């Protein structure tokens, strides 16, 4: 019985070692939060009511080099996103579908910024961890 256990352990050890090597070789997914959150005014139509947004944004990338490129270009990304948010209207931030369209447009513009700067879109997804509009 003991010989059988030793033999089984000997056969499973190489498989476990190979699995660890494969995990290390695969690029890891990272979520990069833009910190501090984006805060600003939107729907500047000259009306008496001041409208404010606060967006906690996270960007999903794969690999250490992609994460470094996003961090390096964060000021450009933030600028583009602030410009996008400030162009929004009450209707474009009023419901879930509209917020999803905004998220997709923010992803597209973020990818465009990185494509212009690095030659690759790099960011795979953009997530709103929190989006508050008043």
Taking only the tens place, the pLDDT of each residue in 78-101 is: 999 999 999 998 888 888 999 999
What integer pLDDT is reported at residue 20 of this predicted model?
Answer: 52
- Tell me the three state secondary structure of residue 25: helix
CATH number at residue 105: 3.30.479
Domain total of the chain:
1
In this prediction the pTM is 0.77
More confident residue, 20 or 112: 112
Q: Is 5 left (phi over 0), alpha (psi -120 to 50) or beta?
A: alpha
Mean pLDDT of the chain: 85
As a whole number, mean pLDDT of residues 121-125 equals: 96
Is 46 within a domain? yes
Which residue range forms the structural domain that includes residue 122? 27-133
* CB-count exposure of residue 110 (10 Å: 0-12, 13-18, 19+): buried
Domain for residue 16, yes or no? no
Q: Is residue 48 part of a domain?
A: yes
pLDDT band at 1 (very low <50, low <70, confident <90, very high): low
Question: Buried (b) or exposed (e) across 8-29, using 16+ Cβ within 10 A?
Answer: eeeeeeeeeeeeeeeeeeeeee
């Amino acid at each position: 019985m003991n010989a059988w256990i030793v033999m089984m352990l000997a056969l499973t050890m190489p498989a476990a070692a190979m699995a660890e090597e494969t995990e290390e070789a695969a690029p890891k997914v990272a979520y990069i939060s833009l910190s501090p959150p984006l805060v600003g005014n939107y729907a500047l139509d000259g009306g008496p009511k001041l409208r404010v947004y606060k967006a906690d944004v996270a960007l999903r990338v794969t690999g250490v080099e992609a994460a470094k490129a996003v961090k390096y270009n964060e000021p450009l990304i933030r600028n583009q996103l602030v410009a996008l948010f400030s162009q929004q209207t009450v209707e474009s931030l009023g419901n879930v579908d509209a917020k999803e369209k905004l998220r997709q447009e923010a992803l597209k513009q973020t990818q465009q910024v990185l494509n212009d700067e690095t030659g690759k879109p790099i960011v795979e997804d953009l997530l709103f961890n929190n989006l508050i509009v008043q």
